[in-house]
């Protein structure tokens, strides 16, 4: 990324005029290549023929070789970068610090404060003429002290100064967050590598280093990083929907359509292409420049996007941002609707903040009204004064003072530190999670992970080491338990085996010598194929000579592996004419296509279904029971003569001759059983979803500890699973799914759709007390839908394809299951950190508001001045959030169950602490306020005139208040009623530094703050008393801990998660207009009322319709909430939320049939179904044969 600055020159059209002259050295100019890449299909082929005769001609013009690639000559590569640009799209300029400051200033509370401060300043400089006159009463008394009158401006200036502080802190936070994400982004970009051929060697280079003329190797699952023309391809299919909106996969071949575009996904096959356009000249780059060039529009779009996306969403790829075209509007809508609901924590926090804000507003309004009334009644009624024109400024000055006090109450009540605490906590966790091999792409995923109740994990590579080895083989009628000696095998069998393995596997798969002496040979490419190649080495045979003799471009046809075929086949020409097909794949699938088998002498003999069943029983099942993956290798010869129809794959791959069946082992990772045990203790169910056969899967699951002996569990195959969850019409029913998923532990031979179905089914289920939070791991392109649907999607950093990474929230950089457990730990820690901060913040809020309010009402002046309040706000918001949000996690977090969506943020124990400490602090402060002057023998600070100097009395109150908060911050470190609040404090240097730092600043403010902070210096004895009261907080905390929470039934919890109704409320249908989050919060109440009424009306209407037996006329609405719709849509567009009209069974329609009606409402899967109370029973028994019962009530939307 270092050379971006220099490369900026090459990105803009101006420099393209120069490039034409530059291209002198190479045969093609940029516009020429750009023009070529804009064509498709026949037009493109024609253009290549006209301009270059064929693709090889194009390679010659670009001075590159289709087989050897470019030379690694630095000067040549640099020249290419000069002419054709770099493969890099310049990112949008980050916001400057000033822009962030401006954004921070938009905060409503701060604006109110600024206005109040400016008015206060203005009035302090205005000396009213009637100031001295008796007529205005003794209101101005106390201002006679020389120099005091001039100090009136200080309060306004101090408020402004503290506003500046708050703004700078917020802006700096945003700026560092932005910087962190850019760093993360560039790290992702640098890590993204692509395979190219240089000097005849295949090497991996960072995507940004690709140049025009490079020969790139492409394979299933890649996201193409540049535009290119196909040189050689096997069964290549590309998903171009991101550029063209075309949802069907496009077949690419050298003869028909060789044009490959950046930003598109390889869905099947493999091949090689010559790179023709990179960076801003590629098709994606062009679209991106169109999108990004119009700066202002981009800004507007940005703001819109900001509103939609609370967390900072990071894009994954350098080129990804351009996924535009016709898809864009749809995508935009999708991001707002179909990406998960607000994260659990966000939902609870927004709700809590709104509640607190409303309470604060009410309190501040009451404060101002009481102060104004008191003043007016005192002055004009009791003292009987008349409002004189010259006294107006004096009175206005009083009103401004009251207004400032009111605003101060509001400022203290509104917890603007909450978003700050969440941000700091998440950013800190994300940074630390990087060390634990979790690369977080979406901030809120980190916190959602703490609430996970289920993990659906892949087997290969996640639970196992992904280092395969052949450990058993069935060759020539013999079952070998270890690698056989080559001499014991017939030469023909050995020869066929070597060819079948060497040729019928990707040529990119290789076994390389170990990096360190004594290490294991390196496996490059597909791990299963590596195991087979390793098997050849164990047989003392080498695959390389066979490949050299038959290079990849000479292969006649390749049917590459995909999730439907579950096999791979390669067709080669035989020297004496005719063809030979080699095939390999899952043994139970391929054996069905075998009609012959090789005997021990290497002769072909027939292989009947009866033989096959015996082989399954005696060879395949025993292997699978030991946790081995079985692969069958077979071949078929076609005689010379008319060519068979290669498109008819079923005929080609049929009547095969079985060469061997091998058992491949992938050992369980040593740390996985312990990690799974931790998950189970933490209340998380781990399920294995794999494409392997059921016996292998069951064996591995038992080794991992997913299956415990004596437990009641289910292990199903994909087919069986589908049969159980679908009705006669083949539609998936949530009720059927609900009977299966709670016990399901292993789903074997599953397709990607099954995985998605399971995840969606668990998420949509309503049978538990709370909605399940599901995490999913995936590595293949086909896992995209499940990763997107899950609450948290984990993609594999090493084995994962770009498509999987794109759909995920967190990338596991070491592909290890135990890293997921670390993510759970950090997620729970974030949640606890926020709760700690809340406990602290709410105590301060309650006390400060109560003090300001009562003080103002009784003494017409808040004992805590505006500037002091702002300092308290700064401690409790910024510093406390830093201190409490950076607590490191402890293993103890994994010993409790997940909180779930409905558990309140502020638990009863926390409420007990908040109220308990609030009582202590208020008691102390009111004692000091009304009796402090007697106790300390000082002048009373109550009823001081307008510009009176600061009193010792009020300084002591302020100091005591701050010290109590400091010691309470230590108490807030524990939220589950633990006694030892100091445990682990030494492990958090940030916390210690902040507490000591705040204390030091407090001393400076009190001793030297003077007029601006309304402080008068205190002596040592007064300081000791303040400290003594502060330390009392810790003792009081121990007292509170002894009161059992169970006895305090009166305490309410706060900050519940959104109710089931509200969750579905978030999943608004696409066509509903999008409402800005804040607005949605305010409208949420009304929406719920109207929606509730609407539903009752709808249900009554439906019942009436049934009663009048007109239900035949009612068409059954298409339930789009069902999962099977995904089957019909090949893309990953999973917005299947549409509101349904609830259908009520007609069993309760006929009044006359009251006798048949059950005496009590039947149990319904919808726990919160208030419709029951209105006498509308939702019958759910499957037996009922009503027309409506075909549409099961499985969507929460239908419940009221």
549-584 per-position pLDDT tens digit: 888 888 888 888 777 778 899 999 888 888 999 999
Between 700 and 425, name the one with better pLDDT: 700
Phi, psi for residue 583 in degrees, rounded to 5: -135, 145
Report pLDDT for 1031: 93
Q: How confident is the model at residue 885 (pLDDT cuts 50, 70, 90)?
A: confident
Q: What's the confidence (pLDDT) of residue 1000? A: 92
d(CA 583, CA 596): 14
Average pLDDT over residues 616-640: 88
Computed over every residue of the chain, the mean pLDDT equals 75
Active site residue 458: yes
Q: How far apart are CA 865 and CA 869, in angstroms?
A: 6
Quote the pLDDT of residue 747.
Answer: 92
Tell me what pLDDT residue 1115 has: 39
Please check whether residue 439 is in contact with residue 798, taking contact to mean a CB–CB distance below 8 angstroms. Answer: no
3-state secondary structure (DSSP) of residue 1165:
coil
What confidence score (pLDDT) does residue 507 get? 84
pLDDT digits (tens, 9 = 90+) for 88-114: 777 777 788 888 888 878 776 677 667
Q: Is the pLDDT of residue 980 over 50?
A: yes
State how far the Cα of 20 lies from the Cα of 17, in Å rounded to an integer. Answer: 6
Q: What is the mean pLDDT of residues 203-208?
A: 84
Alpha carbon distance 510, 521 (integer Å): 10
Beta-bridge partner residues of 597: 605, 658
Active-site residue identified among 458, 809, 815, 1145: 458
pLDDT at 9: 37
What are the pLDDT digits (tens) for 32-57?
Answer: 888 888 887 788 888 888 888 888 88
Pick 424 or 1169 by higher pLDDT: 424
pLDDT at 420: 66
Better pLDDT: 12 or 95:
95
- The long-range contacts involving 1169-1173, CB below 8 angstroms and separated by at least 24 positions, are 1169/1199, 1169/1200, 1170/1199, 1170/1200, 1171/1095, 1171/1096, 1171/1099, 1171/1142, 1171/1199, 1171/1200
The 10 Å Cβ neighbour count of residue 659 is: 27
773 CB-near residues (< 8 Å, 6+ apart): 344, 448, 451, 452, 453, 454, 791, 792, 898, 900, 901
User: 232 pLDDT exceeds 90?
Assistant: no
Query: The pTM is what?
Result: 0.64
Model pLDDT for residues 655-675, shown as the tens digit of each residue: 899 999 999 888 888 888 999
* Torsion sign over Cα 128, 134, 138, 139: negative
| pLDDT band at 1168; cut points 50, 70, 90 | very low
pLDDT tens-digit readout, 751-789: 878 888 899 999 888 887 778 889 998 877 667 788 888
Query: What is the per-residue pLDDT for 919?
Result: 93
DSSP 474: E
The separation between CA 834 and the C-alpha centre of its own chain, rounded to angstroms, equals: 18
Confidence of residue 67 (pLDDT cuts 50, 70, 90): confident
pLDDT of 1107: 54
Percent of the chain with pLDDT over 70: 73
The pLDDT value recorded for residue 408 is: 67
**Which residues is 573 bridged to in the sheet?**
579
Contact residues for 433 (Cβ-Cβ < 8 A; gap 6+): 439, 440, 446, 810, 822, 823, 826
Higher-confidence residue of 1182 and 119: namely 119
Mean pLDDT for 850-879 is: 74
Strand segments, DSSP code E, in 760-847 are: 774-778, 792-796, 810-812
pLDDT value, residue 659:
92
DSSP H or E segment with residue 232: strand 227-239
Over the stretch 829-847, which tens digit does the pLDDT of each residue have?
Answer: 888 888 888 888 888 888 8
Q: What is the mean pLDDT of residues 12-21?
A: 39
Tell me what pLDDT residue 767 has: 83
DSSP state of 660: E
């Amino acid at each position: 990324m270092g050379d971006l600055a220099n490369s900026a020159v090459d990105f803009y059209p101006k420099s393209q005029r120069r490039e034409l002259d530059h291209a002198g050295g190479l045969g093609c100019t940029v516009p020429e290549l750009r023009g070529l890449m804009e064509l498709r299909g026949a037009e493109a082929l024609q253009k290549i023929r006209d301009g270059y005769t064929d693709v090889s001609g194009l390679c010659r013009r670009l001075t590159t070789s289709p087989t050897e690639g470019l030379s690694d000559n630095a000067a040549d590569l640099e020249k290419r970068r000069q002419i054709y640009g770099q493969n890099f799209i310049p990112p949008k300029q980050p916001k400057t610090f000033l822009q962030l400051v401006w954004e921070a200033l938009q905060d409503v509370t701060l604006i109110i404060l600024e206005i109040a401060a400016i008015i206060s300043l203005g009035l302090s400089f205005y000396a009213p003429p009637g100031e001295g006159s008796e007529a205005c009463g003794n209101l101005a008394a106390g201002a006679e002290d020389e120099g005091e009158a001039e100090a009136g401006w200080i309060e306004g200036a101090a408020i402004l100064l503290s506003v500046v502080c708050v703004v700078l802190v917020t802006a700096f936070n945003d700026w560092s967050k932005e910087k962190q994400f850019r760093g993360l982004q560039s790290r992702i970009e640098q890590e993204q590598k692509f395979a190219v051929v240089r000097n005849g060697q295949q090497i991996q280079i960072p995507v940004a280093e690709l140049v025009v003329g490079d020969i790139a190797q492409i394979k299933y699952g890649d996201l193409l990083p540049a535009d290119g023309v196909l040189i050689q391809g096997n069964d290549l299919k590309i998903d171009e929907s991101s550029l063209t909106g075309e949802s069907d996969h496009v077949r690419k071949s050298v003869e028909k359509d060789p044009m490959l575009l950046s930003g598109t996904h390889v869905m099947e096959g493999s091949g090689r292409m010559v790179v023709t356009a990179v960076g801003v000249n590629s098709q994606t780059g062009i679209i991106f420049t169109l999108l990004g060039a119009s700066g202002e529009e981009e800004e507007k779009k940005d703001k819109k996007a900001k509103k939609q996306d609370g967390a900072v969403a990071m894009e994954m790829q350098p080129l990804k941002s351009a996924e535009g075209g016709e898809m864009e509007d749809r995508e935009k809508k999708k991001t707002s609707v179909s990406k998960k609901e607000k994260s659990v924590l966000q939902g609870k926090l927004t709700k809590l903040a709104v509640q607190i804000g409303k309470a604060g507003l009410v309190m501040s309004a009451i404060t101002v009204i009481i102060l104004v009334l008191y003043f007016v009644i005192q002055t004009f009624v009791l003292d009987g004064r008349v409002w004189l024109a010259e006294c107006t400024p004096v009175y206005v000055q009083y009103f401004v003072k009251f207004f400032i006090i009111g605003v101060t109450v509001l400022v203290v009540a509104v917890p603007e530190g909450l978003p700050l605490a969440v941000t700091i906590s998440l950013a800190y966790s994300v940074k630390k999670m990087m060390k634990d091999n979790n690369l977080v792409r979406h901030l809120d995923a980190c916190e959602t992970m703490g609430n996970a109740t289920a993990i659906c994990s892949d087997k290969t590579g996640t639970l196992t080491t992904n280092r395969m080895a052949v450990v058993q083989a069935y060759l020539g009628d013999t079952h070998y338990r270890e690698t056989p000696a080559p001499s014991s095998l017939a030469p023909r069998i050995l020869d066929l085996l070597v060819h079948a393995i060497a040729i019928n596997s990707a040529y990119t798969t290789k076994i390389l010598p170990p990096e360190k002496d004594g290490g294991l040979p390196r496996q490059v490419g597909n791990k299963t194929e590596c195991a087979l190649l390793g098997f050849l080495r164990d047989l003392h045979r080498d695959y390389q000579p066979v490949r050299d003799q038959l290079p990849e471009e000479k292969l006649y046809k390749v049917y590459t592996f995909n999730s439907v075929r579950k096999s791979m086949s390669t067709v080669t020409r035989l020297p004496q004419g005719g063809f030979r097909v080699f095939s390999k794949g899952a043994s139970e699938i391929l054996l069905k296509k075998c009609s012959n088998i090789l005997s021990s002498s290497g002769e072909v003999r027939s292989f009947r279904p009866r033989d096959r069943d015996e082989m399954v029983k005696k060879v395949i099942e025993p292997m699978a029971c030991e946790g081995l993956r079985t692969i069958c290798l077979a071949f078929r010869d076609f005689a010379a003569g008319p060519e068979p129809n290669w498109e008819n794959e079923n005929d080609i791959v049929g009547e095969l001759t079985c060469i061997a069946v091998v058992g491949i082992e992938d050992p369980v990772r040593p740390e996985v059983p312990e990690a799974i045990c931790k998950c189970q203790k933490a209340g998380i169910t781990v399920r294995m979803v794999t494409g392997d056969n059921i016996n292998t899967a069951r064996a591995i699951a038992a080794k991992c500890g997913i299956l415990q002996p004596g437990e009641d569990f289910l292990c199903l195959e994909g087919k069986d699973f589908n049969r159980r969850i679908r009705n006669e019409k083949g539609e998936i029913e949530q009720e059927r799914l609900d009977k299966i998923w709670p016990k399901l532990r292993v789903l074997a031979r599953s397709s990607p759709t099954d995985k998605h179905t399971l995840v969606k089914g668990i998420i949509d289920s309503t049978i538990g007390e709370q909605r399940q939070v599901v995490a999913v791991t995936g590595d293949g392109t086909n896992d995209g839908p499940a990763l997107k649907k899950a609450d948290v999607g984990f993609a594999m950093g090493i084995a994962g394809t770009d498509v999987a990474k794109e759909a995920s929230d967190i990338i596991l950089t070491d592909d290890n299951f135990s890293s997921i457990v670390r993510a759970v730990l950090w997620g729970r820690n974030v949640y606890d950190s926020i709760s700690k901060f809340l406990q602290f913040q709410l105590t301060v809020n309650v006390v400060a508001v109560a003090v300001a309010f009562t003080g103002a009402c009784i003494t017409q002046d808040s004992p805590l001045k505006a500037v002091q309040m702002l300092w308290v706000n700064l401690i409790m918001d910024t510093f406390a959030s830093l201190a409490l949000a950076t607590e490191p996690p402890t293993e103890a977090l994994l010993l409790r169950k997940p909180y779930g969506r409905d558990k309140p943020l502020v638990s009863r124990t926390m409420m007990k602490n908040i109220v308990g400490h609030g009582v202590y602090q208020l008691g102390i402060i009111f004692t000091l306020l009304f009796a402090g002057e007697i106790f300390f023998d000082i002048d009373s600070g109550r009823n001081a005139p307008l510009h009176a100097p600061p009193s010792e009395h009020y300084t002591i109150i302020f100091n005591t208040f701050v010290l109590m908060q400091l010691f309470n911050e230590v108490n807030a470190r524990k939220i589950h009623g633990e006694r030892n609040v100091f445990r682990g404090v030494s492990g958090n240097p940030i916390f210690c530094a902040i507490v000591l730092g705040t204390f030091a600043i407090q001393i400076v403010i009190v001793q030297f703050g003077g007029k601006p902070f309304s402080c008068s210096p205190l002596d040592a004895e007064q300081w000791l008393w303040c400290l003594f009261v502060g330390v009392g907080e810790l003792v009081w905390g121990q007292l509170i801990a002894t009161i059992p929470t169970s006895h305090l039934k009166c305490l309410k919890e706060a900050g519940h998660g959104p109710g089931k109704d509200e969750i579905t409320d978030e999943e608004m249908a696409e066509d509903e207009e999008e409402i800005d989050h804040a607005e949605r919060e305010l409208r949420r109440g009304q929406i719920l009322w109207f929606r509730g009424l609407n539903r009752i009306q709808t249900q009554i209407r439906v019942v009436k319709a049934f009663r009048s037996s007109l239900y035949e006329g009612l068409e059954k609405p298409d339930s789009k909430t069902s999962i099977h719709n995904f089957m019909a849509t090949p893309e990953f567009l999973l917005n299947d939320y549409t509101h349904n009209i609830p259908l009520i069974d007609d069993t309760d329609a006929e009044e006359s049939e009251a006798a048949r009606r059950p005496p009590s409402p039947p149990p319904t899967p919808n726990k919160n179904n208030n419709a029951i109370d209105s006498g509308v029973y939702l019958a759910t028994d499957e037996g009922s044969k009503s027309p409506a019962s075909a549409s099961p009530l499985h969507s929460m939307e239908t419940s009221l």
